[in-house]
Amino acid sequence: MAALLVTVGMGSRPFDRLITAVAPLCAYHDVFVQTGASTVVPPCPHERYVSLAEMRQRLSEADIVITHAGATVRLVQRLGRVPIVVARLRSLGETDSAEQEHYLRLEERTGRVQAVWDVASLPAAVAAHGSRSARLLETREVPPAAEPAELIVKLDEVAARLRGRPFGSHAWRRGATDSREHL
């Protein structure tokens, strides 16, 4: 029996598809689910949201982490682990954009993730996680973390460009007659 942590993140939209797919795993594993805005109630311990400190503790204690294609992916990778990742799909109304899909496709090709595109295959992904994880840990590096000083400089540069005109380059900005105006 493995300890599984399932997290859907802090988004405002439900991720019922993932929560529903996790339900059968609760009978065979020790599962905790962070459900977020989901309307589905899993048959195992769960909370809508947990503190960052509690999430970090649960991440470090879990044998397997199942997550959406968000920031949790890197948290798990930085712990030297491989997450099982299910992207929220714009086509199903789970998000407003296809960013998670694009991110997961990139990570699937180059990163340390076990991507699941069909949630019906989630039990098989959990069963195969040990061997898949070992292979990915041997063959793929995690990108280095940004140095805090470098990150501060980059964020300051972005803020300086946006200061006073946060939507300056947006074509729909108020009063724009030409999309190149005020660039």
CATH (domain of 67): 3.40.50.2000
pLDDT at 180 over 50: no
Q: Is residue 61 part of a domain?
A: yes
Q: Is residue 150 part of a domain?
A: no
- Split at pLDDT 50, 70, 90, the class of 111 is confident
Amino acid sitting at position 182: H
Q: Is residue 175 part of a domain?
A: no
- Domain residue limits at 11: 3-139
Strand order in the sheet with 46-47: 46-47, 30-34, 3-7, 64-68, 84-86, 114-115
pTM of full prediction above 0.85: no
What pLDDT is stored for residue 32 in this prediction? 98
Q: Mean pLDDT throughout 49-56?
A: 93
What pLDDT is stored for residue 143 in this prediction? 76
The residues facing 3 across adjacent strands are 30
User: How many structural domains compose the chain?
Assistant: 1
What pLDDT is stored for residue 63 in this prediction? 97
What pLDDT is stored for residue 182 in this prediction? 42
Q: Is residue 75 part of a domain?
A: yes
Q: Is residue 52 part of a domain?
A: yes
Q: Is residue 173 part of a domain?
A: no
pLDDT at 177 over 90: no
The residues facing 146 across adjacent strands are none
**Residue 43: closest CA among 53, 32, 57, 51:** 32
pLDDT tens sequence across 7-18? 999 888 999 999
Q: Is residue 106 part of a domain?
A: yes
The CA distance from 77 to 22, in Å, is 21
Q: Mean pLDDT throughout 93-113?
A: 91
**Residues 22/66, Cβ–Cβ less than 8 Å:** yes
The CA distance from 5 to 39, in Å, is 18
Q: Is residue 169 part of a domain?
A: no
